[in-house]
Structure formats: structure tokens, C-alpha cells
Amino acid sequence: MATSSSATLSKTVKQQYMELPQGDKVQAMYIWIDGTGEGLRCKTRTLDCEPKSIEDLPEWNFDGSSTYQSEGSNSDMYLMPAAMFRDPFRKDPNKLVLCEVLKYNRKPAETNLRITCKKIMEMVADQIPWFGMEQEYTILGTDGHPFGWPSNGFPGPQGPYYCGVGADKAYGRDIVEAHYRACLYAGVDICGTNAEVMPAQWEFQVGPSEGINMGDHLWVARFILHRVCEDFGVVASFDPKPIPGNWNGAGCHTNFSTKEMREEGGLKAIEESIEKLGKRHSYHIRAYDPKGGLDNARRLTGHHETSNIHEFSAGVANRGASIRIPRNVGQEKKGYFEDRRPSANCDPYGVTEALIRTCLLSEEGDEPAEY
């Protein structure tokens, strides 16, 4: 099992230094999405006092030519603080700061999907859109081999691993527990976790989160997972199909509802939204992974609890459909629906914005409307 060299450094020695008092100063770790649309970057600055709100945080900059975001001849990019969380690694009063990225001309970077998502969310704020996203991931060694798998072969076939208990069924639970507690400390809307169908594959759920908070909280939960895995010397992969063959892929099922859907008779609004989604399938597939659908094509095959990428389908309690209506929602005639198409490496800003555009703003066609 290949683990990173830094994981072998003494955490006990490090702890001696982490317990030193820091006076009135505060460390703020600025986090942003890089030019791949799925990678995260971070760096830290010292503040003179504890920030109480986003307004207390200064904007910053970085070298975009080293993050796939600009050319070396004009490389300064701006970091604009957007959401603040407690830092579970350095602890209070230190902060994690999720940032938007602006280019040298103060226009949003290509992978800054937050800026338009926020605008769209504000347009429908009166409908109180709630989201819950189910983030699947796979724990890998630094050599790319799934954690706990035999070095020259495969574990037993899928069946005993989903929500499994026991050393021969659950691979890497320490990481899951550490991540869960770190998210709770940070103030992330994490609401659950479970072992998934493929061994070394896990899922955590974030939500219900309203509007732009969905994207903010999921990105910070991902960042915390990467940092926890770094401490353990392993890698968290959000690849939608990390292991080819008869193994489940990894998605980011997205649950969605509005105030109308959650009230009596809300099933009608749910069905109307699903009808709109059915007419705009290709637009959503393009929005649901960072490569415009190419990543998801490896996962959405119609097998392993997925729908076919080329076809739209919906059904009650059907995990082989594009859209699933949970059975209790069908019975109670109100609630939410689940879009099972987003890939594990999707941008939650892009996914939630697409759902609002189609379901609430009634957009049609293959391109988003300008407002």
C-alpha cells in the first residue's frame, strides 16, 4: 500500500508546535478552485484579529500561471473571499476562506462558476430552493491503487461492502470519521456518511442547503477531505469511474426541492420540473462534469445503478433512472426529487444553477439564457 512520505513524519512532534500560543494573530487559509474546474488550491495569510464576517477579510492574489488559470506574462489573479468556516486543522480562532477567482481585468475566471450561480439563486430566492448532494469518492494509495485492495488483484465482488461493517468490508473508516468530525467543527452542512458499493468507495452527504450555500459547503467539505487524506498519506479521488469493469462508478446525486414542492400537493410541481428536465437532457449532461460530459460517459452506461447518458428517464424508487422520485415522496405527494446524473467531480455551482435555470426559470434549448 503506497502512502506519501509526509504521512510518516511525526505528528507528535508537529503537535508540540501547534500547541504554541499565537497571540492575537489569526491564520486564514484562502481556498480556491483552479483552472481544471475540479482541483483545489490554498495558501495562508496572517490577520491581526479574528474576522467576524466576510467583509473583514481582505482580497488577495496569486500566480495564475501555476494553476492553469493565466499566462506567465500576465499572471496575477485576484482572490475574493466568498464564504468563511472554522479551521478544523489549526482550530479556533483560525479560518478557512473559500474564494472566488477574478482575472487581471476583474472579470470572473473561466472556472469561477459561483458568480453566475449566485446571481441565478438570487433571482429565485423567494422560492426557497433547497439542495442536498451525495458526494461519492474513492480512497486511493499514492500509486493510484484503491486503498485496501490486493496489490496484484481484486477484492471479492460487490455485494458485502455497501454500508458494510468489519475489516474485510470497510476500507479506510478512520478517514471517514476524521472527515465527518472536521466538517462538523468547521460548520459545514454535512448530514451523513456511508460506505459505498465498491470497496474503498465512500459517500458523504451535504445539505439541506439553501441556494448558493450548497456549492460553498460542498467545496469546503471536499477541501477538508483532501486535507484529511493528506494527513493519512492517501488520496481522495472524485473520478466518476476510477476502476473500469464490473465496479460501481462515483456520482454526486443531487436532491432538489422548492417551497412549493415541499408543501401539500407539491408532487405536481415536482412532475412539472421533471418534464422540463426531460426536454433539456443534453444541456444538463454538459453541466454535470468538468469536461462537458466526457467524464460522465465512462460512468453513465445504464449499468451499476446508472442511467444511459444518451437517454432521459424518471421513476419512483428507480436507481437506474436519470431522475428518481423517492417512494415516500410518491406516497405523500410532496417533497423532493433526486437527479442521479451529476458526476462525483461535478462543480456544484454548475449543477445547482442548471437545475434552477431549467426547473424554475423554464429555460429551453442547449444554451443558458443571459439575464
- Residue-wise pLDDT tens digits, 223-276: 999 999 999 999 999 999 999 999 999 999 999 999 999 999 999 999 999 999
pLDDT for the residue numbered 72: 77
> What angle is formed at CA 183 by the lines to CA 182 and CA 186, rounded to 5 degrees?
85
Encode pLDDT of 350-367 as tens digits: 999 999 999 999 999 999
- Cell numbers found for residue 20: 504554541
Q: Which residues have C-beta within 8 Å of that of residue 236, sequence separation ≥ 6?
A: 137, 138, 139, 140, 175, 222, 225, 226, 229
Three-state SS string over the chain comes to: CCCCHHHHCCHHHHHHHHCCCCCCCEEEEEEEECCCCCCEEEEEEEECCCCCCHHHCCCEEEEHHHCCCCCHHHCEEEEEEEEEEECCCCCCCCEEEEEEEECCCCCECCCCCHHHHHHHHHHCHHHCCEEEEEEEEEEECCCCCECCCCCCCCCCCCCCCCCCCCCCCCCCHHHHHHHHHHHHHHCCCEEEEEECCCCCEEEEEEEEEECCHHHHHHHHHHHHHHHHHHHHCCEEECCCCCCCCCCCCCEEEEEEECHHHHCCCCHHHHHHHHHHHHCCHHHHHHHCCCCCCHHHHCCCECCCCCCECCCCCEEECCCCCCEEECHHHHHHCCCCEEECCCECCCCHHHHHHHHHHHHCCCCCCCCCCCC
Residues 6+ apart with CB under 8 A from 294: none
pLDDT value of position 1 = 78
- What does the alpha-carbon distance between residue 196 and residue 137 come to, in Å, rounded to a whole number? 9
Under the banding of pLDDT at 50, 70 and 90, the label for residue 73 is confident
* Mean pLDDT to the nearest integer, 89-98: 98
Q: Taking CA 286 as the corner, what is the angle to CA 325 and CA 334, rounded to the nearest 5 degrees? A: 20
Q: What span, in angstroms and rounded, lies between the C-alpha atoms of 181 and 68?
A: 32
| Percentage of residues of the chain with pLDDT beyond 70 | 100
Q: For the segment 3-18, what is each residue's pLDDT rounded down to a tens digit?
A: 999 999 999 999 999 9
Is residue 180 within 8 Å of residue 186, measured between CB atoms? no
Average pLDDT in the 98-117 region? 97
Q: Is the pTM of this model over 0.85?
A: yes
What does the pLDDT look like over 175-219, one tens digit per residue? 999 999 999 999 999 999 999 999 999 999 999 999 999 999 999
The residue-averaged pLDDT of 288-302 equals 96
pLDDT digit string (tens) for 27-64? 999 999 999 999 999 999 999 999 999 999 999 999 99
Per-residue pLDDT band at 174 (split at 50, 70, 90): very high
**Where does the pLDDT of residue 71 fall: very low under 50, low under 70, confident under 90, or very high at 90 and above?**
confident
